[in-house]
């Protein structure tokens, strides 16, 4: 699950970390990836082994809503895409200021997007070649790649913020209109079910291979259109944080982020009354709700780390955030569980079942973090 700052658009492996980085963004990216890497398993295991009501409640919050609705875990993926947008004004903007031609930047954006699509296909299907019908082409990384790429191209070729806002509003309104008004053969218009949504029908018609839910893919092509809006929300936030002049005060920037996040939530939950909040369909209301929470989380991390300069606690997450894509795909090729059992199984055998179960998850996370920390000390980072 996107997304780097100053070197975000240059494909490279094992390159030094950029000097200019938004510390809060690295920490927030690491916080997001912590849950993707297995942090949510702590609540699952606690709920299963203890039966504690609070653990069961938290475990439920770290599951996806089956169709309509929103839980905190539904924000994990869009937050990652949102942060890819936040980094854009720092990464792309600095290159524009140095006079790098737009054509060169566009080629790098497209290359990065296609690399992420390819990595997503490999993550879903492994490196062994499968038949076309067995291959799933939609993926989390693919959506980050395509939506992030389109958002960056809009930022590059439409630098006027008012035009960017028009793109944002136009994408969300157009998606709403198409989903509600265009009829689906055998179903009619406006049905937002797994079998009858326009997004599912278009993906079944044009996407090769298999869809994740057979008749629908939550990372399909058509629902990538509103996902561009998620990336644009990140770009708007990044532009604010990078801005100078009257908005140079960091405290004021934090306030603007909070107001923007709250506005998105009000609009999103209101829109959800007529266009349900749905992650699988990536509805326009979902873009605003997930985006609103993402902006508020960015505001919190920015205020604590960059405004108040209280950053020591964030080092744990920064180590993860600096190699977020690597740890996302590494589990498919590295047996972290074997290493965790080797180091911790003997010690945990002396404890009762709940402690053993939670300790196993903590041990697995510790092994993953140690792996990333070694790479961090060696300044080895996977940049796409």
CB 123 within 8 A of CB 141: yes
pLDDT on residue 344: 87
**In this predicted structure, what is the pLDDT of residue 333?**
81
Element (H or E) spanning 147, and its range?
A: helix 140-157
> d(Cα 359, Cα 371) in Å, to the nearest integer?
18
SS3 call for 382: strand
The whole-number pLDDT of residue 20 equals 53
Kindly give the parts of the chain with pLDDT less than 50.
1-19
The predicted-structure confidence for 287-312, as pLDDT tens digits, reads as follows 999 999 999 999 999 999 999 999 99
Q: What pLDDT was estimated at residue 153?
A: 97
The residue whose two tokens read 């939670």 is 358
Which residue has tokens 């792996």?
Answer: 371
Give the largest CA-CA distance in the chain: 63
185 secondary structure, DSSP code: T
CA dihedral 56→57→58→60, nearest 10 degrees, is: 80
pLDDT for position 381: 87
pLDDT at position 5 is: 37
The reported pLDDT for the residue numbered 245 is: 62
pLDDT at position 248 is: 65
Burial 35-69 (b: 16+ CB within 10 A, else e): bbbbbbbbbbbbbebeeeeebbebbeebeeeeebe
pLDDT value of position 2: 37
**Quick one: pLDDT at residue 14?**
36
Tell me, what's the pLDDT at 320?
A: 95
């Amino acid at each position: 699950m996107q997304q780097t700052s100053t070197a975000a658009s240059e494909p490279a492996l094992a390159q030094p970390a950029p000097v200019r980085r938004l510390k809060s963004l690295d920490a927030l990216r690491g916080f997001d990836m912590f849950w993707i890497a297995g942090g949510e398993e702590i609540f699952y295991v606690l709920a299963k082994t203890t039966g504690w009501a609070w653990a069961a409640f938290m475990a439920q919050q770290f599951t996806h809503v089956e169709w309509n609705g929103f839980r905190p875990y539904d924000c994990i993926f869009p937050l990652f895409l949102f942060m890819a947008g936040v980094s854009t004004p720092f990464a792309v903007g600095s290159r524009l200021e140095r006079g790098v031609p737009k054509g060169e930047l566009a080629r790098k954006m497209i290359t990065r997007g296609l690399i992420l699509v390819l990595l997503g296909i490999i993550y879903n299907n492994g490196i062994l070649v499968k038949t076309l019908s067995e291959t799933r082409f939609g993926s989390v990384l693919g959506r980050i790649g395509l939506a992030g790429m389109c958002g960056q191209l809009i930022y590059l070729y439409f630098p006027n913020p008012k035009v960017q806002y028009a793109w944002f509003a136009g994408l969300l309104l157009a998606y709403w209109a198409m989903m509600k008004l265009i009829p689906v053969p055998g179903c009619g218009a406006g049905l937002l079910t797994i079998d009858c949504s326009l997004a599912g029908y278009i993906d079944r018609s044009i996407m090769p291979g298999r869809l994740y839910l057979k008749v629908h893919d939550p990372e399909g092509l058509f629902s990538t259109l509103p996902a561009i809006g998620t990336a644009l929300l990140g770009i708007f936030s990044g532009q604010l944080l990078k801005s100078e002049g009257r908005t140079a005060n960091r405290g004021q920037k934090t306030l603007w982020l909070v107001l923007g996040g709250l506005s998105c939530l009000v609009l999103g939950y209101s829109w959800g009354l007529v266009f349900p909040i749905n992650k699988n369909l990536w509805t326009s209301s979902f873009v605003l709700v997930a985006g609103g929470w993402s902006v508020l989380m960015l505001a919190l991390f920015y205020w604590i780390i960059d405004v108040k300069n209280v950053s020591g606690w964030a080092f744990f997450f920064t180590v993860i955030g600096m190699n977020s894509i690597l740890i996302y795909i590494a589990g498919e090729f590295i047996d972290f569980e074997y290493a965790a059992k080797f180091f911790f199984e003997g010690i945990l055998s002396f404890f009762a079942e709940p402690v053993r179960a939670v300790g196993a998850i903590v041990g697995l996370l510790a092994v993953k973090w140690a792996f990333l920390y070694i790479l961090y000390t060696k300044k080895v980072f996977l940049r796409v």
